[in-house]
Structure 1
């Protein structure tokens, strides 16, 4: 018996038959029967039995995905199933996300003077802290589809004017967006956005057609802020654990006095 078969048997025995509306008669071993898992996974009972016994060769990726669904595996468990079979995680399946958990929001809010956001692989901003609203953009005042960073860079004149070197920033964003979307398997999800921007912005079309890919995850950003003047922000990007399609971006003012100025802006916003 190999590691794959052991893992399948272990997860099968953890399932409660009653949760699936199955008869509650006495069973020799806990969990579902092999034929029940096979039926839920749309494969033959013989083939599933062979897999648990370590016989019959490796299943295809499609079979593993059906087994993951039939065994109600979590995403990390599904990844582990593929690693046991093939030695590597499965191909990325992009999942659109509408919001972040309260815990992630608490992480952002725990950095009160450092602008921070969480974005998706398609560069939609999902969450932000108060510092981000007074330094970057007040995303709460934008419609949901207006919170896409590419739309802001190429279609929002205020955001464009705030960039110290707009062309360099735009080129970086397009290259990173292309890399992130491809890595997350979100090619079909970005098609409409890319078409929209190609039609609306000749500059975007030219940069997109260049096929550049960038992967810079930290650096210095210079902004022309309406109240603070020209400021420099160190930025770093972090993948969210267990959610590689989500990225946290944190900005830290380089000049100490800017921190106090951001604090004053936040106080004004809270009082308004």
Structure 2
């Protein structure tokens, strides 16, 4: 039987899926976030479609004392993995099963039991892929022409989560371009030609940005007293950014104490309200 781990140990989770495993991993990460600072170590085992493949993963889970989370829709495979986990005394979580079962009872219908239905190659899927490619292409204002093509334009000083936020919104099918604001560099003309309603300014407190930049310098093996993390320099950058956002007349969000998901939620709600 698996024993409890200490918060200083890694929580190992093996995600078994008959598709890519994205759904299972997302649920596991969301749940594990409630137990910070436990360090999460996830390994995906995608496109599992046989008992033999399941057995191989279960052997690894026993050896490494990993938790099993699975998204299998074929009833025989679901039953097998639950039975085996019980016999082997493994912690095993059926991510989709209970939801599918309850939907069947509520709708009076039987599930199709077809793997990969969430990620089928439909119009929405291709739109998401296109948005991700767009976010990569126009990240950090590599090509200012993307500003006029984007659904959302993010502006802010360095380390205000512009890139991760761009990618998160891309997974929601929004084409996002982002523009770093630096006092010594003139913003591209396209920024002033774009519709202010699609521009979102990201502001942050001096204290928070100072801490983030010091950690960034430390991770790069650089001196945390560098000008990049200097309080006076940061204040100058933020003052410049706020002034520019005022000139643009754009929506401004304070990201000082917000996770990327929270900021994205505010942006999505804002655009939803704009389009009503």
- TM-score, length basis structure 1: 0.28
**Quick check: which has more Rg, 1 or 2?**
1
- TM-score, length basis structure 2: 0.28
